Amino acid sequence: MKGYIHSIETFGSVDGPGIRYVVFMQGCPMRCLYCHNPDTWEIGKGREVEAEHLISEYEKNKMFYRSGGITVTGGEPLLQIDFLIELFSLAKARGIHTCLDTSGITYSDCNTTYCAKLDELMKYTDLVMLDIKHIDPIKHREITSRDNSGILAFARYLADKDIPVWIRHVVVNGYTDDPEHLKSLGRWDACLWCQMLPMNET
């Protein structure tokens, strides 16, 4: 299967554990005011690649990625979920650690077809890095042009499934650095995953 990618970073050190092969997927429905790569926004642009090709490129330098693996980021990688399923299933068949870096904006628990695909992708995903742009719904819309209710529902989905998650939050002066909002984000984060502990322990 072919996917549309923006670019590749062969020595990623900030997008998951260890040194990683980072695939920047093309296309994003968000419009973050502080986006550092708006050239990833347009859907259907970018370079067409086969999932197999990315794996073979990874394999050429796999000694460097012993403590790392593959990360998909963007853009918004979940826009190309079928491609991710193939890429991550190929990676897991070779014992490669897989990480999905996402805003979660594509999640909709009403869409059963999409949820089935997400369930399939999670079988091959070792870590999700979930980028919460803002915990406050009004501020979130101001900053990204999109509502955050689906994103927070996606976080609940991940917690329910016991998927390992790193929460990311980009601190931008004047946009996302309000101390009260940061505390709210921390409380929400702690609440969501602490509530899961008793369930996991029983």
Q: Which residues contribute to the site for ligand SF4 (CB under 6 A)?
A: 28, 30-32, 35, 37, 40, 74-76, 103
Least distance from C-beta 122 to ligand SF4, angstroms?
20
Beta bridge partners of 12: 20
Question: Token pair for residue 132?
Answer: 């919460």
Least distance from C-beta 45 to ligand SF4, angstroms?
13
Angle, to 10 degrees, between the axis of helix 149-160 and the axis of helix 179-201? 30
Nearer to ligand SF4, 46 or 74 (CB): 74
Nearer to ligand SF4, 78 or 85 (CB): 78
Beta bridge partners of 102: 130
- Residues 128/165, Cβ–Cβ less than 8 Å: yes
- Residues 21/10, Cβ–Cβ less than 8 Å: yes
Least distance from C-beta 57 to ligand SF4, angstroms?
23
Cα separation of 163 and 130, whole Å?
Answer: 11
Cα separation of 94 and 86, whole Å?
Answer: 13
Nearer to ligand SF4, 55 or 135 (CB): 135
Q: What single DSSP character describes residue 27?
A: -
Least distance from C-beta 103 to ligand SF4, angstroms?
4
Least distance from C-beta 29 to ligand SF4, angstroms?
8
- Residues 107/150, Cβ–Cβ less than 8 Å: yes
Peptide bond into 75 cis (omega under 30): yes
CA 73 to chain centre: 6
Nearer to ligand SF4, 90 or 155 (CB): 155
Nearer to ligand SF4, 138 or 190 (CB): 138
CB atoms within 10 A of CB 80: 25
Nearer to ligand SF4, 12 or 75 (CB): 75
Least distance from C-beta 128 to ligand SF4, angstroms?
15
